[in-house]
Structure 1
Amino acid sequence: MSESIFSPEDLRSTPWYALSAEEVLKHLQVNEDGLTTQEAAERLASYGPNKLRETPPPTFWALLWEQFNNFIVMLLIVASVISALLGEWIDASAIMAIVLLNAILGIIQERRAEQALAALKQLAAPEA
């Protein structure tokens, strides 16, 4: 295999959608039949496996922060505090209950989405 003429930055900045199939093959230094076993082994050694980077799921506290790190939610919290300072305990309690319910439902939804994504990854795992 010839020395690589492209870097990861080149790969990210190339407008692949605008290239013809022949141009893509030439740019990646392959042919229509694919790579030979030796070329595949060399590229595996050079670039590593063709896998997405796994990121750990966010912690409970990170999810909780995401639920409150929103202008509207912060505005509601301020409104609740102002209501409490003015002695409007029912209004303050109602606003805080809504904010807390929103946070709880948001965390539950995020966790379920993570579980669904993990299940889809299991289904789509290729086997050689």
Structure 2
Amino acid sequence: MNVDALMAYITSTPLTWIIITMSAYKVGILIYEKTGKHALLQPIVIAYVIMLPILIIAHIPYKQYFESVSILHFFLGPATVALALPLYKNLKLIHAYLLPIFITLFVGGIFTILSAVGILWLLGA
């Protein structure tokens, strides 16, 4: 078996991409914690920055990658629903900070829209 055939086999198995993706996320968590939980260094952002060059270098189309890690995508739904329990347990605290939460969401939404429009304008779209 030559090296090219071995690499083709390794990159075609879903388990490989699940392990690499989870490892990239773990590295993201470590970096996030080492930097004092800096807001711009969220683990998901770090994982993306790690995964993008790996996929480009390995010549893996995003569709193939997504199909390989589809089990992770499947479990995101139940994980999101599971967040309801801690939210419910902290309902009194959420009510206490309801106005700041709404202001933050409103300002964040406006900023997101303005950022998107600004980027599109800068790119001439």
The two structures have a TM-score, normalised by structure 1, of 0.27
The two structures have a TM-score, normalised by structure 2, of 0.27
Larger Rg, first or second structure (1 or 2) = 1
Q: Which has the higher helix share?
A: 2
